[in-house]
Structures are given as structure tokens and as C-alpha cells.
Amino acid sequence: MSRREDIERVLASCENCDSVYAARQWPDGDIQIIGQDGCSCGTSTFEVVEQTDVLDDPDEFDTAAGTGAE
Ligand SMILES: [Zn+2]
């Protein structure tokens, strides 16, 4: 039973100002944004926005704006 690193890359939004950061979510649910300890507004509480690798594919965001075109 070796411990695996089930750390997921996620997008996390600040609960205070809704700024979105690249973050990692630990198996225990802990969310830590990458590169800094907390949001620039001083908050260190975040919630997950996406659990995908859209960070490498910004076009994902554009598709959401196209819904309802049919
Ligand atoms: Zn903030």
C-alpha cells in the first residue's frame, strides 16, 4: 500500500475577490495555489473551479460563450 500522489491540477477562485489561479488540490482536499501563498487580496481560501488541464488550452473558455447559437 504505497502512498500515491493524487495531487490534481485545478483552477481555484478566491472566495473573496473571485480571482482565479492555477492551483493544486491534495487528496485531503487542501487547495494551494501555485507560485504564491495566497491571493493578492490577502485571502488564502479558495474553491475549485475546474478539474481539468484547460490551463494548456485557453480555447476551452471560448466554447462556453458559443452556447445557444443553435
Ligand atoms: Zn482574492
pLDDT in tens, 29-48: 899 999 999 999 999 999 99
Q: What is the pLDDT of residue 54?
A: 52
51 pLDDT above the threshold of 90? no
Grid cell locating 60: 476551452
Cell 494548456 sits on residue? 56
The CB-side HSE value for 29 (13 A sphere, CA atoms) comes to 2
Please report which confidence band the pLDDT of residue 3 belongs to, taking 50, 70 and 90 as the band edges.
low
Backbone phi and psi for residue 36, each to the nearest 5 degrees, phi listed first? -155, 165
Query: 34 CA to middle of ligand 1, Å?
Result: 14
d(CA 46, ligand 1 centre) in Å:
9
